[in-house]
Amino acid sequence: DSIDLALRGASISNDSQMGSDQAQVARARELFERALKLDPDNFEALVGAAWLDVDDIAYGRGDPAQIERAVDLLDRAIAAAPDQAQPYVAKAMLSMVTRRTQEAGENAARALRLDPNNPNVYAALGWTQTLSGRDQDALANIDKAVALSPRDPNLGFWFYLRGSALIDLKRY
């Protein structure tokens, strides 16, 4: 059923080495699309498919149509479950990689209000703060992400963000 397909897609997506295994990404995308054909409002499939597009865009593998598709998927996810933080985190990341820093900060702040225990929210907020020159604030939020999830698969990226903030602050 739709839920099973979406969960299988999420599992494969999580194992795709941050999107570097394109065969796994394609398989996850197929599962999300099949789930959405069965249930166009499947929250997990909407968010999962959108994250794959956001990752493609972030790593230079995407095209402009994927930006529109990701926005549509995330808007549908928000409509299906407006009290969930995940689509706002994905929207924040999409806004950052498309250089809309203010919009990214607004989406990250919204996600934080919805789920103050989600480490990805703090990392997204920290990234927006680094991009807008608020590096000291960024450090606090990135450190909060690490404290909440010290073995997170995104830890390497969070340390990259932390390093960027420290360099900007000239704290080598």
The pLDDT tens digits for 6-22 are 999 999 998 865 667 88
% of the chain beyond a pLDDT of 90? 81
Contact 130, 114 (CB under 8 A): no
pLDDT at 19: 60
For residue 29, how many C-alpha atoms fall within 13 Å in the half-sphere facing its CB?
A: 17
pLDDT in tens, 142-166: 999 999 999 998 899 999 999 999 9
Residues 126, 119: Cα–Cα separation, whole Å: 11
Residues 111, 60: Cα–Cα separation, whole Å: 25
If 0-12 CB within 10 Å is exposed, 13-18 middle and 19+ buried, where does residue 142 land?
buried
Torsion, CA 28, CA 80, CA 3, CA 66, rounded to 10: -10
Contact 49, 76 (CB under 8 A): no
